[in-house]
Structure 1
Amino acid sequence: MLNKQPILFFLFVIVSVCGFSQVESDTITDTTIDELKIEQALTKQREIDPLRPSKAAFYSAILPGLGQAYNKKYWKIPIVIGAITTGIVVYDFNNDQYNRYRDAFKRRLAGFTDDEFYGTGATPAISDDGLIRAQRQFRRNRDIAMLITAGIYILNIIDANVDAHLLQFNVDENLAMRPHFQYNPMENSSDLGVTVNFKF
């Protein structure tokens, strides 16, 4: 009777160990498969086109907004076209006003009193000095509008180029920089820092 108890106990221990080792082995296999899937997802690389930024800039230089369409940033197209169109309209308005006052001033210098700003009385409604001040103001506004429109056009090209560069920027887990917070039990204090991950 005494000999059977150690044998039964020994068999129970072996069966238990085999059962636990089987469960542990399955868990390790599942974890390895999950890690393999994650690694494959992280190492999936996109094709990098080195000419993409220059193409986007070239398209934006030809037609403002075309580079944004090439980068598939369609929401930027109305902003670019609207800003450049507004600049052109403001330039055109100020140029027309400048030409009106300049033509009237030229006619006055030639001795005519039939310009649109002279009026019907003996004295002009707008004096010669008023015409000169109006010409200066509208010429200044016209030049500022031209500079702003040229600036928006150049910004449109720069935006398309930079956006194309950023679309190809590497943001996967192999290259990462993150802040971290860690508790140090030995010193009973907290550590703040930055973790830089760089995997080849």
Structure 2
Amino acid sequence: MLILSNRVNAQNDSIKVEVIKVDSTNIKPYVLDPLSPSKAAFYSAVIPGLGQVYNKKYWKVPLVFGGMGLSIYYYAFNNKEYHRYRDAYKDRLAGRQVEGVLAGIDNDRLLRGQRFYQRNRDLSALCIAGVYVLNIIDANVDAHLKQFNVNENLSFSPGIVPSDINYNYAPVLGMSYRF
């Protein structure tokens, strides 16, 4: 059974449509908000971790911030080292004296170090984008799963049954649905 109800908010004259599904066997109503996943994804897109707060999964926020922070830290470190090797190589080609630790390194090693840090910098940028996208996807999926109806009518039960062919016991997973 499906019940639709309209609520009018007197403060801002907005209409909110709530879809209330009633489980016909246990008669337990629950509210289904169809915009909840898109709100969670939008919040996570604006500020990473805010979609997890909206879904009340507070333990995921440090994971999002940790992933973003670590990726940004490695991006900044690799970018700094890339520019240091690149500037040392340019100074060497221009005939200027290279100072510091890089003074004793030949041109080939300066180029290899430059390529190494450039590759790691680009990989760190991909990690930043990946953590950002996973943050949005996680908020969206988690908001969808919050609306999933779980009741006693659907059950999975593991068991061990004998085979009809060779009478050996085998593990099985049974699924039952009661109407």
Bin the TM-score by the shorter chain.
0.7 to 0.9
Question: What pairs with 1:27-106 in structure 2 (closer than 5 Å)?
Answer: 42-106=26-90
Aligned length: 149
Question: What pairs with 1:81-160 in structure 2 (closer than 5 Å)?
Answer: 81-117=65-101, 119=103, 125-160=104-139
- 2:143 corresponding residue in structure 1: 164
After superposition, the Cα gap between the structure-2 partners of 1:193 and 1:55, relative to the gap in structure 1 and judged at 3 Å, is closer
Unaligned runs of 5+ in 2: 1-22, 162-171
After superposition, the Cα gap between the structure-2 partners of 1:193 and 1:152, relative to the gap in structure 1 and judged at 3 Å, is closer
- 1:4 corresponding residue in structure 2: none
> CA contact under 8 A between 1:60 and 1:68: conserved in structure 2?
yes
CA offsets, 1:111-161, max 9 Å, x none?
A: 112443464xxxxx1111111011011111111111112111111111101
Corresponding residue SS for 1:196: strand
> CA contact under 8 A between 1:56 and 1:71: conserved in structure 2?
yes
Corresponding residue SS for 2:117: helix
1:44 and 1:197 map into 2 onto residues whose CA distance is 17
TM (normalized to structure 1)? 0.66
Corresponding residue SS for 2:32: coil
After superposition, the Cα gap between the structure-2 partners of 1:118 and 1:149, relative to the gap in structure 1 and judged at 3 Å, is closer
2:54 and 2:102 map into 1 onto residues whose CA distance is 54
Calculate percent identity across the aligned residue pairs: 52
Unaligned runs of 5+ in 1: 1-38, 120-124, 184-191
1:57 and 1:198 map into 2 onto residues whose CA distance is 35
Which is bigger in relative contact order (C-alpha 8 A, separation at least 6)? 1
- 1:3 corresponding residue in structure 2: none
1:180 and 1:87 map into 2 onto residues whose CA distance is 42
1:89 and 1:55 map into 2 onto residues whose CA distance is 29
Amino acid paired to 1:154: V
- 2:16 corresponding residue in structure 1: none
Question: In proportion to residue count, which structure has more strand?
Answer: 2
Offset, 1:42: 2.8
Of structures 1 and 2, the larger Rg is shown by: 1
After superposition, the Cα gap between the structure-2 partners of 1:180 and 1:76, relative to the gap in structure 1 and judged at 3 Å, is closer
The ranges of structure 1 where at least 4 consecutive aligned residues each deviate by more than 6 angstroms after the TM superposition are: none
Amino acid paired to 1:162: V
Offset, 1:44: 1.4
TM (normalized to structure 2)? 0.74
1:45 and 1:164 map into 2 onto residues whose CA distance is 18
**Aligned alpha-carbon RMSD (Å):** 2.8
